[in-house]
Amino acid sequence: MEQLRTLSNYLLDSELFAPDQLSTRAEQVTLQLNWKPDVEGLCMGTLEYRGILEFYRTTIAPIRLMALVGTWLQRNAPGDESHRLVLPDCSVSPHVDQRHHLRLFVDFTESIWLSEQPDGEFEAFQKRWSFMPSDLWIAQRSDVRNRPDPQP
C-alpha cells in the first residue's frame, strides 16, 4: 500500500490543511498470486485495494483537493495509463460553518516483487527471497459521481 502512503504524504506536504484533517486507509484488499520471474527478480503477484482519503473540517474547495489528487495520479501513472485516468469517486458533506468533509476513493494495483537472496526471509521454488519495494502501480478504476461531461 505504498502508493496510498506516498499520495498521503504528498497531500500533507501541500500544507493546505492541518495533518489532523486527513485520514487515509485501505479497504477491499486482495492479493492475486501470479508468479512471474523477471530479470530484476520475481513478481509474486498484485495487491489490489481501495484507498480512502478523508478530509475533515476543511475550508479548501473540494474541487481544489480533487485537482491535487488528480494531478498526482496523472504524474504517477505508468506510461500510457495516465490518459485513461478519471478523478476518483467522492462524496462531500458540507457543514454550516463553511467547512466540509470530503471523502475520495481511489483503486490501486501494486506489484509485489521479491529478490533472490541467500539469506532471504521467504522460501519459494527451492530458493530464498527478500521483499523488494516497487513503485509500479496503476489506478484501475475511479470516477466522480454527478460530474458534467468531460471536456476534450
For the cut 70, the answer to whether the pLDDT of residue 80 exceeds it is: no
Q: What is the pTM of this model?
A: 0.71
Range of the domain at 105: 2-139
Query: What one-character DSSP code corresponds to residue 88?
Result: P
Q: How far, in Å, are 5, 38, 51, 53, 149 from residue 103 at the CA level? A: 16, 38, 10, 6, 21
- Confidence class of residue 63 from pLDDT cuts 50, 70 and 90? confident
Structural domain includes residue 152: no
Structural domain includes residue 36: yes
- Pick the more confident residue, 134 or 126: 126
Structural domain includes residue 151: no
Question: What average pLDDT score do residues 128-151 get?
Answer: 53
Structural domain includes residue 18: yes
Structural domain includes residue 98: yes
Q: Which three cell numbers stand for residue 108?
A: 490501486
Indicate the average pLDDT of the chain. 78
Give the per-residue pLDDT at 139. 42
Give me the number of domains the chain comprises: 1
Structural domain includes residue 33: yes
Question: What average pLDDT score do residues 12-32 get?
Answer: 91
